[in-house]
Structure 1
Amino acid sequence: MAAPRPPPARLSGVMVPAPIQDLEALRALTALFKEQRNRETAPRTIFQRVLDILKKASRAVELACREPAQVDHLAASLQLITECFRCLRNACIECSVNQNSIRNLDTIGVAVDLILLFRELRVEQESLLTAFRCGLQFLGNIASRNEASQRVVWMHAFPELFLFLIITDHFLKSPELVKAMYAKMSNQERVALLDLTIAKIAGEEPLTKDDVPVFLSHAELVAGAFVDQCRAVLNLTAEQPTDDEEALATIRLLDVLCEMTANTDLLGYLQVFPGLLERVIDLLRLIHAAGSDSTSIFSPCASVKAEGDITNVAEGFKSHLIRLIGNLCYKNKENQDKVNELDGIPLILDSCGIDDSNPFLTQWVVYAIRNLTEDNSRNQDLIAKMEEQGLADPSLLKKMGFEVEKRGDKLILKSASDTPQL
């Protein structure tokens, strides 16, 4: 006769299997931790036992790294590792107490070391990729809104794990980890991350359905960072710029926003992001004013600059500000009207001119004006009146594909009959 099963332990009135020693028990805990009340009442000893299982299973991975023949026997260990990560991931959701308890057990260090071991396994198994993803999700959740955990993740993960994840393109799939690590990066490291983001969005393969929610989270991070720090680029107008790297990181944020707003899945979210459109117009106005000084890095230039010239840092910045305004106003009447209210239309029109520091500047002005005037009679009337008052160059409007026609006492902005001269 089989020995009787041990009675289940209790997690503040909720039945849980005990002791935690097998896959079934871990899965039960993972399910329990989906509920906030269970997360908030979990005893610290639970996480110690999960960590013990994780360490034991990781030894099988270490052995397989030393002896490739052992890879064939990894299936059970990878299942346990995956479920440990899932359990810990769920336990950390919006629960700083659990985040702190798990961190204080040095679970982060064990997790990072194990994820780094994964790259040494010469095996193409879906179970390995699943364990890898769950490990990243755990690191992201334990670091979410928890500065102490963010510091520990950063301490263990940078630079080796960070660079590995950049190369394998897995880093961007964990938005919480991206947020946690972005806050701790140097400006140079942020530029590398933002370059990776641009490559992913503007790549030949479109974002998948699974990618979109992740990149919406990235869009929140990028837009928020730009709104908060975009004026850092004005440091370049100083006689002796103090931090080119900070300005470059800000410029790269703008580049990412341009690519994100060119993606229909991300555009709608960014069109309503608080303060973004206002901040872009404000910055364009400041940059435009700074450009009136012939010695400014933002002054129009009609000659190509030497390689390594500091002005290369700001190349295309004005063009991209106008491009972003155009994207944010695409088929969005509220934003079209907002640009009008902020006196952005005269500013955009006045920005059109020869400037080798801003390639395709005229084309982006044309694009922005078209998006601002599409199905918007108020903006069309404003431009028509500007032309009559001599504030808008008729030849420039024609270049954009527009012309002003007077019908009785009313001025009408309409499409020119000939093709716009782009």
Structure 2
Amino acid sequence: LSALRCSLQFLGNIAAGNGDSQNSIWKCAFPDLFLTCLMYSDEKIVAYCCMVLFTCLNSEKVRELLDPGNLTVALRVLKVYKEQLESEWSFLIVTDHLLKCPELVKALYAKLSNQERVTLLELMMAKVSESHPVTSEEMNAFMRHADFLAGCFQEKCEAVLKLTSAADAESEEALVTIRLLDVLCEMTSNNGQLEHLQALPGLLETAIDTLRLTHLAGKQAVNIFTATHAMTGQEEISHPAVGFKSHLIRLIGNLCYKNKENQDKV
């Protein structure tokens, strides 16, 4: 184990700032060696492997991950992040590289479990929430993410109604819908993406319909969407559906901001 750890550290060191070394390592290690190391039970080996992978990646190499045989590497990085939340390198691989390729995000999303989708959406949220200026390339990627996520939200929004049933109180599909809404709210709070999202067909209507349905569900029985629902303190803090309606209202408000056409629809 020590030899493998040291070897990976050495590879990370020689790859840093050296394009030729990065290309040589990539040629020899991708995808099999990376995948093998990412599957190790030893956290340090996984972390060092992520460091090497991060150092070697660029936009061209990220596109290689789109190959069905190579997609497993990206999937594994996400699993590493989910299992080892302290893993800074896996976080950086996703936020600094993978999220710059909308096609890859789309391909990944299709392969992920609902829990993993929540993790990916949380990473997207972290990226969208960053305060530093974005490049035009990043903005284009965000807009394509917005198209995709809005489509997912429109398709799956009614899943959140499962939370009205005690049996489905932990519905993972509903949690994905909640996270989709969170990311869309954040995106519509950004002027660069707002106009694009305001023009997306059906998004505003879906948000209004979902608000109407959740409001109705809350009136028909006492559940998480009931306005006077007396929650315990712990439930109030921990239940992910708390605030869902207010986030819908926030999304609707953002979509109507300085947009008369959308205002008239509401």
CA contact (8 A) 1:235 1:241 kept: yes
Gaps of 5+ in 2: 40-44
Residue of structure 2 aligned with 1:233, choices 160, 164, 182? 160
| Letter matched to residue 214 of structure 2 | I
| Letter matched to residue 155 of structure 2 | D
What is the distance in 2 between the residues matched to 1:158 and 1:255?
20
CA contact (8 A) 1:216 1:269 kept: yes
- Corresponding residue number in structure 2 for 1:43: none
What is the distance in 1 between the residues matched to 2:164 and 2:6?
58
Residue of structure 1 aligned with 2:228, choices 267, 282, 301? 301
- Corresponding residue number in structure 2 for 1:109: 32
CA contact (8 A) 1:154 1:184 kept: no
> What's the secondary structure of 1:207's corresponding residue?
coil
Question: Percent same amino acid among aligned pairs?
Answer: 41
Give the root-mean-square deviation of aligned CA atoms: 4.0
What is the distance in 1 between the residues matched to 2:244 and 2:12?
55
1:159 aligns with 2:63: no
| Letter matched to residue 61 of structure 2 | G
1:263 aligns with 2:209: no
Pair 1:136–1:186, CA change in 2 (3 A): same
- 1:236 is displaced (CA, Å) by 1.1
Structure with bigger RCO (C-alpha 8 Å, 6+ apart) = 2
Residue of structure 2 aligned with 1:215, choices 142, 145, 168? 142
Residue by residue, what CA displacement relative to the aligned partner does 1:257-283 show, whole Å, maximum 9, x if unpaired? Answer: 111011111112211222211111111
- Corresponding residue number in structure 2 for 1:190: 117
- Corresponding residue number in structure 2 for 1:78: 22
What is the distance in 1 between the residues matched to 2:81 and 2:164?
37
- 1:118 is displaced (CA, Å) by 11
Residue of structure 2 aligned with 1:135, choices 52, 61, 75? 61
Pair 1:329–1:266, CA change in 2 (3 A): same
Residue by residue, what CA displacement relative to the aligned partner does 1:289-336 show, whole Å, maximum 9, x if unpaired? Answer: 112135122111375632146982211111111111111111222222
Pair 1:314–1:159, CA change in 2 (3 A): closer
For normalisation by structure 2, the TM-score amounts to 0.74
| Letter matched to residue 322 of structure 1 | I
- 1:113 is displaced (CA, Å) by 6.0
Q: How many residues align?
A: 247
> What's the secondary structure of 1:199's corresponding residue?
helix
Q: Considering only CA atoms, is the larger Rg found in Structure 1 or Structure 2?
A: 1
Pair 1:223–1:181, CA change in 2 (3 A): same
What is the distance in 2 between the residues matched to 1:72 and 1:319?
47
CA contact (8 A) 1:305 1:312 kept: no
What is the distance in 1 between the residues matched to 2:236 and 2:153?
25
- Corresponding residue number in structure 1 for 2:42: none
What is the distance in 2 between the residues matched to 1:306 and 1:217?
39
- 1:186 is displaced (CA, Å) by 2.0
CA contact (8 A) 2:102 2:145 kept: yes
CA contact (8 A) 1:191 1:248 kept: yes
**More moved, 269-278 vs 256-265:** 269-278
- 1:219 is displaced (CA, Å) by 1.1
Residue by residue, what CA displacement relative to the aligned partner does 1:189-229 show, whole Å, maximum 9, x if unpaired? Answer: 22222222222222332434332112112212211110110
| Letter matched to residue 320 of structure 1 | H
Residue of structure 2 aligned with 1:174, choices 79, 84, 101? 101
Pair 1:267–1:113, CA change in 2 (3 A): farther
Greater per-residue strand proportion = 1
1:248 aligns with 2:175: yes
Pair 1:296–1:136, CA change in 2 (3 A): same
Residue by residue, what CA displacement relative to the aligned partner does 1:21-58 show, whole Å, maximum 9, x if unpaired? Answer: xxxxxxxxxxxxxxxxxxxxxxxxxxxxxxxxxxxxxx
CA contact (8 A) 2:118 2:179 kept: yes
